[in-house]
Amino acid sequence: MNESAAAFQIERLGLVMQADPEIPEECEGVLNPAAARGPDGELYLFPRIVGQGNYSRVGIARVQFNDKGNPAGVERLGCALEPQEPYELRPGTGGCEDPRVTYVEPLNLYVMAYVAWGLTGPRIALAVSDDLRSWRRLGLAQFAPDPDPVYGVDFDQYHNKDGAFFPRAVPGPDGHPALALLHRPVYGTGEDIPKGVPDPRPSIWMSYCALEDAQRDVQALARLRGHHVLIDPEYPWEDLRIGGGAPPLMTPLGWLLLYHGVTGHIARVPKEQQRVQYTAGVLVLDADDPRRVLYRSPSPILEPETGEETEGVVPNVVFPTGVDDRGEGRVDVYYGMADLRIGAARLQIPDQLPEETA
């Protein structure tokens, strides 16, 4: 057993949701769900549901549990977001994809960061709710050009995915309380790589909104600044790129973040065959200063192994996007399987971090 798996033990709980071919809105797949406990205490998933022509919506489903307390299925409750804004629409299709939902405690609001796929490609967009059923769009995330000469980057020009907010305020670059967004901008050609970034492979970044600004006007959440790299690809299982997974979860060890790594070959031109594998690992960040990494998986804790994970729209994919803290060190993880279906796994948090750190 590798060191990561020994420290953070994960057990598959099985399939939770799969596409119903009789439902046109999801006939091409259900995948990559956000997860959040509602005001009623129930657990809700927000899967990307894919209809004909790769038309993606964000659905709503209530999780059903078996006698052992494990997730065993869902009750479909309709749609949270359907493409309607220009930044969510392309000719013939639309995209509201891969949401992450965080209950942001200082705002008393659920914040959804999702991928809006419009004419300019994939971008992070935001929506807010106080009940998980009715959502109000804040629009595309706007990344203010960073005056810091280390980067000097304007992320509004980049494709961007895997956005997720921290649930609590953290220190911003200026030391004042801020709400932080994790995201994964994609660098294109060599001249698009931000200044001061030696690694051209897509990495996980953090950007910030001053807490007092968001408390005064929630629309401020969509205006972010203070961008910096959190981690670059480092280990063999992250060879092509890395990206965020589920929103950060506070644990006795610090902020726990499941993230993904990609190996293989990514298609660059139409009809080119893509051969990739998505795996998942663990990142632990300091509770008081999440810019400080305390632990990072040298190897994955979850890899595609079952037929549901190795066969699908994109084979060999496990993609964690939602977590549910069950207490006593147990965290249920909800993840996309081969871009077609949704599985759940149980992660046990160790009492202490392994000695080996990143």
pLDDT for 110-122, tens place per residue? Answer: 999 999 999 989 9
Say if CB 255 and CB 287 are below 8 A apart: yes
Name the one residue in this structure whose structure tokens are 């479909």: 76
Whose CA is closest to 264, among 301, 229, 303? 303
pLDDT for 8-25, tens place per residue? Answer: 989 999 999 999 999 999
Helix/strand/coil percentages in the chain, nearest 5: 10, 50, 35
Domains of the chain: which residue ranges? 3-348
Name the one residue in this structure whose structure tokens are 């040298």: 298
Q: What is the largest CA-CA distance in the chain?
A: 57
Rg (CA), the chain: 19
Beta strands (DSSP E) in 39-108 are: 43-51, 55-65, 71-81, 89-90, 93-94, 96-104
Say if CB 110 and CB 164 are below 8 A apart: no
Distance of alpha carbon 210 from alpha carbon 225, whole angstroms:
9
Which tokens go with 116? 């809006």
Say if CB 42 and CB 28 are below 8 A apart: no
pLDDT computed for residue 357 by the predictor = 47
Q: Which amino acid is at 296?
A: R
pLDDT computed for residue 322 by the predictor = 98
pLDDT computed for residue 47 by the predictor = 98
Whose CA is closest to 314, among 265, 241, 247, 269? 265
Name the CATH superfamily, with its identifier, for domain 3-348: Glycosyl hydrolase domain; family 43 (2.115.10.20)
Q: What is the DSSP letter of 233?
A: -
State pTM to two decimals: 0.94
Say if CB 242 and CB 260 are below 8 A apart: yes
Q: How distant, in Å, are the alpha carbons of 140, 172, 312 from that of 336?
A: 24, 32, 11
- Sign for the pseudo-dihedral over CA of 242, 248, 250, 254: positive
Say if CB 57 and CB 49 are below 8 A apart: yes
Q: Which amino acid is at 165?
A: F
pLDDT computed for residue 1 by the predictor = 46
Beta strands (DSSP E) in 82-220 are: 89-90, 93-94, 96-104, 109-118, 121-129, 136-140, 142-143, 159-165, 170-171, 177-186, 204-210
Q: Which alpha helices (DSSP H) does the chain contain, by range?
A: 3-7, 211-216, 307-310
pLDDT for 203-229, tens place per residue? Answer: 999 999 999 999 999 999 999 999 999
Q: How distant, in Å, are the alpha carbons of 13, 84, 115, 220 from that of 93?
A: 34, 11, 14, 29
pLDDT for 120-151, tens place per residue? Answer: 899 999 999 999 999 999 999 999 987 776 77
Mean pLDDT per 10-residue run, the chain (358 residues)? Answer: 67 96 94 98 98 95 97 97 96 94 98 95 96 97 82 83 98 96 84 78 95 98 94 96 97 98 80 83 97 96 97 95 96 97 97 72
pLDDT computed for residue 6 by the predictor = 62
Rounded to 10 degrees, the C-alpha dihedral 23/28/29/34 comes to: -80
Residues forming beta bridges with residue 275, ordered by sequence position: 265
